[in-house]
Amino acid sequence: MRWQDIDQQPCSVARSLAIIGDNWTLLVLRDCFLGVRRFDDFQQRLGVTRHVLSDRLRKLTEGGILDKVAYQQRPVRHEYRLTSMGRDLYPVIVHLAQWGDQYLADDHGAPLTRIHKQCEHTLQAQLHCRHCGETVAAQDIRVEENAHWKGKILMNNQG
């Protein structure tokens, strides 16, 4: 299968990667969550070419992750705002950053600290079961195929 056809797979991870699955896109999302909205600000922070940035912002907009909103009429200028679909990616970004903080930080430690505003403590994001409230890890989860996809997916149900 070719990368450009990855969104055709019966797999939610593959379909998600079709929209957010490259390094520049994840860095654009990181910056969105840090409050960046304008093209020139993204380009300055990321050091990416205009062409690549334009392509990633277009892909995120077409994918429903960002809205392109005019903030000036003459000349017309736009900013990019996270949609509710985009804001729902926050846990993904936080967990990815937290993983990097734990395993990839240098001697100076993590570059950013996330503070929970309500209690003023450092955030330690965890996956919880919505039903019972328990913290869960990969070994605590069983994966089952949707009846519609039965037999169409190669899967290892061992977590």
CA–CA gap between residue 13 and residue 103 (Å, rounded)? 23
Q: For 45-88, give the DSSP string.
A: HH---HHHHHHHHHHHHHTTSEEEEEEETTTTEEEEEE-HHHHT
Give me the domains of the chain, ranges plus CATH numbers.
1-83 (1.10.10.10), 89-159 (no CATH)
- The answer on pLDDT for 157 being more than 50 is no
Residue 158 has pLDDT above 50, yes or no: no
pLDDT exceeds 90 at position 10: no
Q: Report whether 142 contacts 159 (CB < 8 A).
A: yes
Each residue's pLDDT tens digit, 38-75: 999 999 999 999 999 999 999 999 999 999 999 999 99
pTM, two decimal places: 0.83
